[in-house]
Amino acid sequence: MAPLISFDNATKVFGTGERAVRAVDQVTLDIETGEIFGVIGYSGAGKSTLVRLVNALGESELRKLRGDIGMIFQQFNLMSARTVAGNVAFPLKVAGWSRQRRAERVAELLDYVGIADKARSYPGQLSGGQKQRVGIARALATSPSILLADEATSALDPDTTQDVLALLRRVNRDLGVTVVVITHEMDVIRSIAHRVAVMEAGRVVEHGPVYDVFAAPRERATHRFVASTLRDRPTPETLERLRHRHPGRMITVGIREGGGSGTDVTAALRAHAVDGTIVYGGISEIDERPFGSLTLELAGTDAAIDELIAQLRRTTDVDDLGTAAVPA
């Protein structure tokens, strides 16, 4: 199937001469129908500009697509003088829907996003999470096939963020809407994206399935984003402290789907008569698959520990951290 959105060597330059900024620099990227695609980067990386290019297609393309792209924003962009129902009805009005059909569609949408009771409220009377639900209802009004979410959860607290992300996941799954999420937070990517592109200085420096990018980040920026969300591996400072309490041989074992599970670790310890104490770690989910690591202090003969590590390395990555006396 042909991609829904295709960037082919896309470039956007602001300004001219010495002051020219290449906000988007030779980006080639395909977004497939039905996926949740994440674009992550630090402030100024060019994410918003890239997504705005989707909205700025040539006239004929645009006519074909008008009403086919919904958009939600960090600051919600609701009309404060209109009620919730009025905000959601607005794009339908623009599209020429009758009053009766508008009312039906608005009721259906507000029910879907879980704020049917707020139809007559004004945006100023709503919490941030409720405002974003209105934004989502409005963006979905004309049944678009693409939803662009530009930092849509960046103004929300962590719990509300998870609620809104769960709603976006439903929109993708139940309604088959292709969702493009722009964010600077790897937590957001980890929670809902299937594939991700990492942007830096206008370029896509790395992209692929979220699980693969997490499991084997190649670029420095990607390493930083991954570390910012998992926090499962001890930093050098943490390791220093751990060594005081646990002077023995330590290893960090990657926990993955299809190899390197907690069960594998337990079985390997037993098979080699090595005792393992879990001293650090975290296992969570990426794209609904297990992912993380465990750091263990091991007690056993050197030979047994070496064999244990060799066995684990057949299915997952193992960092040998050495001992307090002889760090690796």
Ligand X SMILES: Nc1ncnc2c1ncn2[C@@H]1O[C@H](COP(=O)(O)OP(=O)(O)OP(=O)(O)O)[C@@H](O)[C@H]1O
- Cα 88 to Cα 83, 91, 108, 172, distances in angstroms: 9, 7, 11, 19
CB of 132 to ligand X, least distance (A): 17
Question: Contact 137/161 with Cβ under 8 angstroms?
Answer: no
Residues contacting residue 123 through CB under 8 Å, at least 6 positions apart: 76, 78, 79, 80, 82, 84, 87, 131, 134
Whichever of 82 and 184 has its CB closer to ligand X, that residue is 184
For residue 128, the minimal CB distance to ligand X (Å) is 18
Q: Of 77, 35, 72, whose CA–CA distance to 189 is shortest?
A: 35
Select from 5, 38, 40, 47 the one that contacts ligand X (CB under 6 A).
47
3-class secondary structure, 38: strand
Query: Which is nearer to ligand X, 25 or 264 (by Cβ)?
Result: 25
**Closer residue to ligand X in complex, CB, 53/92:** 53
**In the bound complex, what is the minimum distance in angstroms from residue 55's beta carbon to ligand X?**
13
Query: Footprint of ligand X on residues 13-32 (CB under 6 A)?
Result: 14-15, 21, 23
At closest approach, how far in Å is the CB of 54 from ligand X?
13
From 38-46, 57-65, 104-112, 139-147, give the range in contact with ligand X by CB under 6 A. 38-46
Query: Residue from 9, 43, 60, 80 that binds ligand X (CB under 6 A)?
Result: 43
Q: What's the Cα-to-Cα distance from 121 to each of 66, 112, 117, 278, rounded to whole Å?
A: 29, 17, 9, 52
Pick one of 48, 87, 130, 252: the residue that binds ligand X (CB under 6 A).
48
Helix (H, G, I), strand (E, B) or coil at 322: strand
Does 153 engage in binding with ligand X (CB under 6 A)? no
Q: How far apart are CB 118 and ligand X at their closest, in Å? A: 29
Asked if 45 interacts with ligand X (CB under 6 A), we say yes
Min CB(133)–ligand X separation in Å? 23
Figure out which of the listed residues 31, 40, 41, 193 binds ligand X, where binding follows CB under 6 A.
41
- Which of 46, 135 has the CB closer to ligand X? 46
Which segments of the chain are extended strands (E)?
5-14, 21-31, 36-40, 69-73, 146-150, 178-183, 195-200, 203-209, 249-255, 275-286, 289-299, 318-322
CB 217 → ligand X: shortest distance, Å? 19
Residue 24, amino acid: V
* Closest distance of CB 76 from ligand X, Å: 16
Q: Closer to ligand X by CB, 229 or 261: give it.
A: 229
Does position 318 bind ligand X by CB under 6 A?
no
Neighbours of 99 (CB within 10 A): 10
Residues in CB range of 3: below 8 A, 6 or more apart:
30, 31, 32, 33
How deeply is 108 buried, as exposed, middle or buried, from its count of CB atoms within 10 A (0-12, 13-18, 19+)? middle
Do residues 311 and 254 touch, judged by C-beta distance below 8 A?
no
Is position 74 an interface residue for ligand X (rule: CB under 6 A)? Answer: no
Residues in contact with ligand X, total (CB under 6 A)? 13
Tokens (6 digits) for 56: 């700025």
Q: Which is nearer to ligand X, 203 or 313 (CB)?
A: 203
**In this chain, which stretch among 40-48, 55-63, 127-135, 280-288 interacts with ligand X, using CB under 6 A?**
40-48
Q: Which residues lie below 8 Å from residue 27, measured CB to CB, with a gap of 6+?
A: 7, 9, 10, 11, 50, 202, 203, 204
Site residues (CB under 6 A) for ligand X, limited to 161-220: 184
46 binds ligand X (CB under 6 A): yes
Binding site for ligand X (CB under 6 A): 14-15, 21, 23, 41, 43-49, 184
